Structure 1
Amino acid sequence: MSASANPGGSAPSAPALQRLRHRAQFDAVLSSAPAAKTMHFALHLTDSRARGASDGLFPGGGRWVGAMVPKRWARRAVTRNLLRRQIYAVAREWMHALPEVAVVVRLRSGFSREQFPSAGSEALRHAARAELQRLFERARRA
């Protein structure tokens, strides 16, 4: 075993958060109704163990996350990338609070260009992050 695989010799940590990669995975999660919604985002989730056992979409169960940021709601690539990065960052913080699930966070409406004129502004980053944290909090309670 290499030193980088388990630094410090401590017990292995929880499995890493895995990203959804295939359309079938997204379709499986999106087939369920949203578990939580905010003004700009919707969160869909499904049990990764049940789906993974039946059709191999989520090998090994665990926690899976996907982000959908369509051009319809975020025209500029800088904005789409900023939102996607925030989705994955907040998911890493909150997924430990959820059971073994597959989650898709979907942008369901655009952020106002009047309020956020810069595509990659700090204000947009903070607003998106705060809203995503509220979204995951609602999902945890549901």
Structure 2
Amino acid sequence: MQRLKSRAQFQAVLAGTTVSRTAHFALHRAQLDAVELNAPSTITGPESNGRQALFLVRDEAWLGAMIPKRWAKRAVTRNTIKRQIYAVSSLAEPSLQVAAHVVRLRAGFDRKQFPSASSEALKRVVRGELEQLFAKAPT
């Protein structure tokens, strides 16, 4: 599985459809062929010809994680959630379509319920919800 890295890649996927939601997460998907055709110019210069493909590998699924500071204030919490996203997605990879995906945190976790920034309880809850998210996604 390839990881999304550039802002243009994330924007292209977020412009696609939302295929699954849970209480805290949303899964966005964009077909690679549709994104390739509408790819904006990402690199300019004499060798770029004004355009560059956003996704060079087309036979693998792509995944990115968006954890806004608005919903997870502490960097430790954001990193913990990202690690859980990539761990669960690697297990769900065989069932994912060959497309570009973004998992986005859309609501915060209650700090009163999870006072530690990186507790085992938080990891369990996040992992369970991510498993539901990928299970709900159409194949």
Per the normalisation by structure 1, the TM-score is: 0.83
Distance 1:33 1:97 in 2: 18
Equivalent pairs counted in the alignment come to 125
1:65 to 37, 44, 63: 63
Structure 2 counterpart SS, 1:36: strand
Structure 2 counterpart SS, 1:140: coil
| Partner in structure 2 of residue 84 of structure 1 | 82
CA apart distance, 1:33: 3.0
Distance 1:70 1:117 in 2: 19
Q: CA RMSD in A?
A: 1.4
| Partner in structure 2 of residue 11 of structure 1 | none
| Partner in structure 1 of residue 133 of structure 2 | 135
Moved over 3 A (4+): 52-55
Contact 1:48 / 1:63 at 8 angstroms: preserved in 2? no
CA apart distance, 1:49: 3.9
- Tell me which of the two structures has the higher relative contact order, counting C-alpha pairs closer than 8 angstroms and 6 or more residues apart: 2
| Partner in structure 2 of residue 13 of structure 1 | none
| 5+ long unaligned stretches in structure 2 | 40-52
| 5+ long unaligned stretches in structure 1 | 1-16
| Partner in structure 1 of residue 113 of structure 2 | 115
Contact 2:13 / 2:28 at 8 angstroms: preserved in 1? yes
Distance 1:43 1:91 in 2: 11
Q: Larger % of helix: which? A: 1
The percent of aligned pairs where both chains have the same amino acid is: 52
CA apart distance, 1:51: 2.5
> Which whole-Å deviations, capped at 9, do the CAs of 1:61-109 have from their partners, x for residues lacking one?
1210000001000001110000010011111111210221110000000
CA apart distance, 1:27: 0.5
Per the normalisation by structure 2, the TM-score is: 0.85
